[in-house]
Structure 1
């Protein structure tokens, strides 16, 4: 068996990914930043930096802090805004032989729906990933992704606004992530990705001040992988749509754990900061594993956890 004979494809609604390795939003810029470091065409897809209707400067620095087995970030979803993305960033992305997925966010349901409506008319976009970890200003700052009704409402509004495949990115800062997963699937999400970062903080003991200007931030990296793996396993058992695993994937073995737990694809995030070649090395490692175990289709690996 050769790698050419392995069926790697993953279907997300009408979008077919040629392999299951994606870049996680916010960790890979708009793709061009890595274009001289790796062959972007090898990737199954790129999820670009989170996009809002208007440009955002994000939070004041310091915005990134290294922690044991990971990092904290409070970037605040800094981005160029929808119009600048379509005008300045998308032309390069459209030249690549890989899927381009756009992560979107808003402060109101109407924001999400408007971005989706406008992206629906833009050529070159394969799917939308909806960041529902953002605070809803109309609900006193409660994150959309922590309330099943709000999560359902925002995904339903986006579903009505676009024909593009939809992925709902879930927050881990909930009691039972499967409740949220079922809500967004019922609202029309074609897949779910999980997990987003875990709310955390760090303190400078000499000054007794928070190490982030925002006080709290999102924890990512190897420290959160066991949590992400558990939530992916739980969610894959509860929903019929594909599950995309995210959180602490640093190498091929990490990715393979997520497939065995039930993920149909993975997103590589924090690893990109440590090793710009992480995504292509992970893909090569997955291929080697499948060759070694005689696996001809990715579906043979997905959800293959042995419990007895």
Structure 2
């Protein structure tokens, strides 16, 4: 039997396959298809301090080899999560990581303080990289001073594992990664979606109400993979790899590039079972290559 367990800071994942925030709801949605505990973890839907209605429709559009979304972090706020969702999911046998978002540094601090009290949520994914909200989010993640400030202030009030989610819409993502590492990030996750747009040529109108939105799916994989490799060679903290992972081969590539854990997102809109197929596929790959542990693959790119 091969060993699929991986470590991310002080968290142990039963396997390196997790679901990306914004694609799997709050883990209970995926329970309609299979036991959430079969995966290493779930990065829960982006949560804000107060209720957010999100952006106007239309807010999703299919593109060549991907999709654009401009959902705008629709959620009912952290208090609703604590009172109504957390009790339902807290006993899932998997790592539950909540994605937290703010319009101000004070929002992030208040959110982190509330999540810090939840025993069964061992980590946060600090989202400073969302490209489809009108304020906050990506504004903090595109400069080193902004990323440093949010990370530093949240670190003061949050004492569990802090994963900072990075934006690819920057000049040098490695510099942002090093900046948040220096301010106490335990890990970084990358990449979030790329800023893009789509136009309906017949109506001559944008396909999204917000005009621009976040591009995800297989179209972004080569760029995301390059960024994961660059960042994993620039920081000492572990990396979570995201971006167009559709099958086992994609997942293996991200592990070889330096990711300790991978997130599957857009792929589950095509087939919710893909994450389980990837878990089985990694196991088969290890067997075929006579590798005992998946951890031997992490950063194993041969140059």
Deviations 1:63-96 (A, max 9, x none): 0000000000000010121011011111121121
Match status 1:231 vs 2:227: yes
Q: Is contact 1:70-1:222 (8 Å) kept? A: yes
Shift, 1:141, TM fit: 8.6
Residues 90-105 of structure 1 aligned to structure 2 (within 5 Å): 90-105=86-101
Structure 1 unaligned blocks of 5 or more: none
Shift, 1:133, TM fit: 1.4
Within the candidate set 228, 239, 247, 1:251 is matched to 247
Q: Is contact 2:5-2:295 (8 Å) kept? A: no
Deviations 1:212-265 (A, max 9, x none): 000000000000000000000000000000011000001111000001111111
Residues 205-284 of structure 1 aligned to structure 2 (within 5 Å): 205-284=201-280
The CA distance in 1 between the partners of 2:91 and 2:270, in whole Å, is 27
Shift, 1:140, TM fit: 8.9
1:70 alignment counterpart? 66
What SS class does the counterpart of residue 143 from structure 1 fall into? helix
What SS class does the counterpart of residue 29 from structure 2 fall into? helix
Q: 1:134 to 1:66 in 2, by over 3 A?
A: closer
Runs of 4+ in structure 1 off by over 3 angstroms are 139-142
What SS class does the counterpart of residue 32 from structure 1 fall into? coil
What SS class does the counterpart of residue 78 from structure 1 fall into? coil
Q: Is contact 2:129-2:138 (8 Å) kept? A: no
2:192 alignment counterpart? 196
Q: Is contact 1:159-1:188 (8 Å) kept? A: yes
Shift, 1:129, TM fit: 0.2
1:17 alignment counterpart? 13
1:45 alignment counterpart? 41
1:120 alignment counterpart? 116
Task: Single out whichever of 257-266 and 140-149 deviates more from structure 2.
Answer: 140-149
Shift, 1:107, TM fit: 0.6
Q: Is contact 1:202-1:211 (8 Å) kept? A: yes
Q: Is contact 1:250-1:271 (8 Å) kept? A: yes
1:57 alignment counterpart? 53
What SS class does the counterpart of residue 125 from structure 2 fall into? strand
Q: Is contact 1:106-1:134 (8 Å) kept? A: no
Q: Is contact 1:194-1:244 (8 Å) kept? A: yes
Pairs aligned (count): 302
Structure 2 unaligned blocks of 5 or more: none
Match status 1:179 vs 2:175: yes
Q: Is contact 1:38-1:280 (8 Å) kept? A: no
The CA distance in 1 between the partners of 2:14 and 2:174, in whole Å, is 28
Per the normalisation by structure 2, the TM-score is 0.96
Per the normalisation by structure 1, the TM-score is 0.95
Q: Is contact 1:107-1:134 (8 Å) kept? A: no
2:282 alignment counterpart? 286
